Amino acid sequence: MLCLALWALHLLAREVNYHQVRRYVQSLSHGRLLLAALFTALGYAVMTLYDRFALVSIGRKLPWRRVGMISFISYAFSNAVGMSLLVSGSIRYRFYIQNGLSTGEVARVVLFCTTSFWLGLLALTGVTLLWVPLPANLPLAAFSLPLGVLLALIPLAWLAGGQIRRPVRIWRWRVNLPSTRTGLQQILLGALDWGLAAAVLYVLMPDQLNHGFGHFLAIFVIAQIIGLISHVPGGIGVFEAVMLASFGATGNQALTAPILGALAAFRVIYYLLPLCTATALVLQREARGLRRKSLLAPWFTGLLPSFFAGLTMVSGAVLLFSGATRALPERMAILRDVLPLSVLEVSHLLASVIGMLLLILARGLQRRLDAAYVLTLVLLVAGAVFSLLKGIDYEEATLLTLLAMALAPAHRLFYRRASLFSTSFSLGWVLAILAVLGCASWLVMFSYKHVDYSSSLWWEFSFRQGGAPRALRALVAAAAAGMLFAVASLIRPVRLHREPPSEIELAQALPLIKQSACAQAHLALMADKTLLFDPAHKAFVMYDIAGRSWVTMGDPVGTDDATRRELVWTFLEQCEHAGGWPVFYQVSPANLDLYLEVGMNLLKIGEEARVRLATFNLDGKSKKVLRNTVNKLTREGLRLEIVPADAVLPLLPRLKQISDAWLRDKHVREKRFSLGAFDPRYLVRTPMAVVWQGDRLLAFANLFLSGTMQEASVDLMRFLPDGPAGIMDYLFVELMQWARAEGYHWFNLGMAPLAGLQNRRQAPLWNRFGALVFGRGERFYNFRGLQRYKDKFDPEWEPRYMAVPGGIALPMILTNVASLISGGLSGVVRR
């Protein structure tokens, strides 16, 4: 669509040159510019009412100033970037979640605002076409009335739906339509918003337009609808082409240059200035957030690199566009007297190449690469210097310098020492770079359409007539730089680690497991999960794959925080290369910043029970049952023995008999991933707790013992079905007393799935669903019973989370995780 729009612009403006457009922009009076700025301010003030009414509709109240800032930032970015639902939705989610709204409530706010936006546009277009039909000499004039009726019927149907008190079924969804009063507010608000936007452009249009505001408004809203449908960022090119086609059809070609100038001024005033203001507000807010020592800090540090990436991309585009247009003659006259021609030529070429490199480096900044940060700083300064040398473009130089000054103190945000060539570029990012190149190409053709092309242009160097050759050379050099980077990235081998760990890798992991304060790290010894190490083998993540889900078990294992943080990024990029969904399962609150920084969402999946051994005892009325059970079994001759790992092998045949009998009695199959299975190679790697009654072996549990003495835990715990009652209680109590005597601080009883999730109306949908399953899912899993059993040991409950990507993949991710733990989809159903 962008290419078609640029081609249409080229045809429509073939009689116009760059100087005519610039002269019209310079001729705009201060009064017109101030009036356009006033209408812009009023328009964005009206947009804040979208969020205000949306919050009222869901029964939430926030301070007006805070709502206004969130709304302004979201619309400033979505208007300029396009993809309104995605861009404004993600910004609203980021800020409203911090203000206490649930995910479901944010979704309702976004839906309300988007609906109001479109209802107002359709209503305004329909009424305008019915009230003021298009002049006969304009395109679409013959369809004014039927098109107006069709568009006006949509908001009328919405108002009529407000009379329906029950939910309306729309395809697969059941929707509660707002009341007629609320619907009318939405329509009037949206219409006022679009009317003010049209007024901004109308005051900038040339006096000889010969169309009243009604006719102009009809053309404006139709052009906006086409621009929005095109999904081109900001509708750039598409909107301009429709406006030119509509007004250029009058046959007055003298209008084309002024209209183009008015459109350019409109883009700056209505889109660029609010975008710069919103960026400054966000940077100020994020910098303030960085100073807060709280859980919210990761949200702020996670957002800043993306904003710097966006500003860097804008700077690159500015350099490319500057290199594609003519320099001002008066400035070139100054350079001709003080600079050699060779310096001018090289500066022009390098400025455009730097512009392309900044587009590429922006992705590296978003991925927090240290090399991208350093190179971006260097290129911003170099770009500012070359902008001055190629045409005294102090405007571009100022922009680049300010960005470099803002970026310089933020070095700690860019901590990753990964290769730039290993950075993955999403389809959207590639299309954005191609769009900038396409616009630069069109600018070259538009700016130098009066110059006849010949092959000799490529070798022409001069101050007076060298503009077109310089622009052509700069454009080709920039495109070549981008192509070289793409080729270098494509030929770089991609290593995908998907194999079970070798004995060498397990040996490398063992010291890290022993150093970990988390006993759960011993699950790596099961050897059913792939181990991904950092290059220095200071940390690793263990993961497995089900469907498109690449699921890690727990947090990265290692003691070096920087290495663990880098491993999260490495795993994320490996998933992107393979087209998978990264999932971090059963992660702890202490490490949530690792996942928030990479833009992942967090779901609470349960709570883990940890017994503080220093205070654990069997005294008191609450421990009477446990105390009696342990005393009774001790009198019956039961005793606990801790068998070292190197002495477990001879016991395996007897342990196998106990395990098989336990599985048959419980009617369950072996689990995996988050639990161990009876595998001799696994069991001989950890100490074993066994319970004897005379010479008879009754029960066993393999032990997870952290090398830092922080935590002890068990994985497999199995016993003979015909053994004495209460043997599990006996084993747990004896193990806790043994661990306390050995100097361990905690005993980990494992997680209670879905425990601690709230079923309140304000809670996120996932929490409400999980709480429902926890309360009513006893048929499938003894959720409450497991929590009650662990509660009798007086543990401290700590939440556990799953970090997942956003979007609609969550149901499939949950299915994949369940199949991993259960050993396949059939295991989910069959236990």
The listed range with the strongest mean pLDDT (266-275, 281-290, 488-497, 596-605) is: 266-275
Residue 23 has pLDDT above 70, yes or no: yes
Higher pLDDT, 418 or 300: 418
548-556: average pLDDT: 91
Q: Residue 542's pLDDT is what? A: 94
pLDDT averaged over every residue in the chain: 81
Q: Return the higher-pLDDT residue of 271 and 256.
A: 271
Residues forming a β-bridge with 539: 558
32-36, 283-287, 569-573: range with lowest mean pLDDT:
283-287
Burial class (CB in 10 A: 0-12, 13-18, 19+), 529: buried
Residue 721 has pLDDT above 50, yes or no: yes
Distance between CA atoms of residues 84 and 209, nearest Å: 31
Mean pLDDT of 810-820: 81
In this prediction, residues 685-707 reach a mean pLDDT of 92
Q: When comparing pLDDT for 468 and 382, which is higher?
A: 382
Residue 590 CA to residue 593 CA, distance in Å, equals 8
Residue 330: pLDDT band by 50, 70, 90 thresholds?
confident
Q: Is the pLDDT of residue 391 over 90?
A: no
Say if residue 359's pLDDT is above 60.
yes
Distance from C-alpha of 617 to C-alpha of 615, rounded to nearest angstrom: 6
Cβ atoms 701, 688 nearer than 8 A: yes
- What are the phi and psi torsion angles at 637 (to 5°)? 95, 10
**pLDDT of the residue at 767:** 46
* DSSP states of 232-279: -GGGTTHHHHHHHHHHHTTS-GGGHHHHHHHHHHHIIIIIIHHHHHHH
- Residue-wise pLDDT tens digits, 587-628: 998 888 888 878 788 888 888 999 999 999 888 888 888 889
pLDDT grade for 384, boundaries at 50, 70 and 90 = very high
- How far is the CA of 226 from the CAs of 82, 196, 712, in angstroms? 13, 19, 64
Question: For the chain, first and last CA: distance in Å?
Answer: 52
Residue with tokens 């945000």, as numbered in its chain: 413
Q: Span 769-775, mean pLDDT?
A: 40
Q: Can you tell me the mean pLDDT for 24-43?
A: 90
- Rounded to whole angstroms, the Cα distance separating 358 from 364 reads 10
Q: How far is CA 274 from the centre of its chain?
A: 23
pLDDT in tens, 447-487: 777 677 667 777 777 766 667 888 888 888 998 988 888 77
* Three-state secondary structure call for residue 537: coil
Give the closest residue to 664 by CA, choosing from 715, 724, 731, 719. Answer: 719
With contact defined as beta carbons under 8 Å apart, do 605 and 771 qualify?
no
Q: Which residue has the higher pLDDT, 268 or 821?
A: 268
Q: Per-residue pLDDT for 385 more than 70? A: yes
Most confident range (mean pLDDT) of 227-241, 634-648, 759-773 is 634-648
Does 263 have pLDDT greater than 50? yes
Q: Return the minimum-mean-pLDDT range out of 180-189, 239-248, 420-429.
A: 420-429
Q: Helices 427-447 and 341-366: crossing angle, nearest 10°?
A: 160
Q: What is the pLDDT of residue 652?
A: 94
pLDDT band at 585 (very low <50, low <70, confident <90, very high): very high
Residue 251's pLDDT band (cuts 50, 70, 90): very low
Bigger pLDDT: 681 vs 280: 681
Strand positions, DSSP E, 462-617: 530-533, 539-546, 549-553, 557-558, 581-587, 601-612
538: DSSP letter: S
d(CA 658, CA 577): 45
Q: How far apart are CA 295 and CA 309, in angstroms?
A: 24
Average pLDDT over residues 272-299: 64
Q: Is residue 670 within 8 Å of residue 683, measured between CB atoms?
A: no
Alpha carbon distances (Å) from 134 to 125, 128, 547, 714: 12, 9, 55, 78
Which pLDDT belongs to residue 771?
Answer: 42
pLDDT at 575: 84
pLDDT at residue 376, as a whole number: 92
Most confident range (mean pLDDT) of 137-141, 498-502, 556-560, 572-576 is 556-560
Q: In the prediction, which pLDDT does 76 show?
A: 86
Distance, in Å, from the CA atom of 485 to the CA atom of 214, rounded to the nearest integer, reads 50
Give me the mean pLDDT over the 340-361 stretch. Answer: 90
pLDDT at 342: 85
Q: What proportion of the chain, given as a percentage, has pLDDT over 70?
A: 81
Give me the mean pLDDT over the 240-265 stretch.
73
- Predicted confidence at residue 234, as pLDDT, reads 63
> pLDDT by residue (tens digit) across 477-500?
998 988 888 777 665 545 445 678
| Residue 230 clears pLDDT 80, i.e. is over it | no
Q: How many CB atoms lie within 10 A of CB 164?
A: 10
pLDDT at 423 over 70: no
pLDDT of the residue at 461 = 75
Domain segments of the chain: what residues?
292-493
Q: Model confidence at 364, in pLDDT bands (50, 70, 90)?
A: confident
Distance CA 640, CA 793 (A): 19
Q: What is the mean pLDDT of residues 93-99?
A: 76
Which of 79-93, 114-128, 233-247, 730-744 has the highest mean predicted lDDT (pLDDT)?
A: 730-744
Please, which pLDDT band fits residue 254 given cuts at 50, 70 and 90? Answer: low
* pLDDT of 713 above 90: yes
For residue 708, give the nearest of 514, 530, 534 by alpha carbon: 514
Least confident range from 67-71, 266-270, 332-336, 546-550: namely 332-336
Contact 32, 267 (CB under 8 A): no
Is residue 83 pLDDT above 70, yes or no?
no
* The pLDDT value given to residue 294: 43
Residue 59 three-state SS:
coil
- Quote the tokens at residue 740: 């306390």
Q: pLDDT, tens digit, for every residue of 750-766?
A: 888 765 444 444 444 44
**Which DSSP state fits 747?**
E
Instruction: Please compute the mean of the pLDDT values over residues 795-813 and round it to a whole number.
Output: 83
Judging by DSSP bridges, how do beta strands 549-553 and 581-587 pair with one another?
parallel
For strands 711-719 and 688-693, give the pairing.
unpaired
339: Cβ contacts below 8 Å, ≥ 6 apart: 389
What's the average model confidence in pLDDT over 69-75? 88
Count of beta carbons in the 10 Å neighbourhood of residue 706: 23
Task: Name the band, by pLDDT with cuts 50, 70 and 90, for residue 781.
Answer: very low
Q: Which two tokens stand for residue 284?
A: 């100020």
pLDDT for the residue numbered 768: 44
Distance (Å) of CA 86 to CA 83, 485, 602, 743: 6, 29, 19, 53
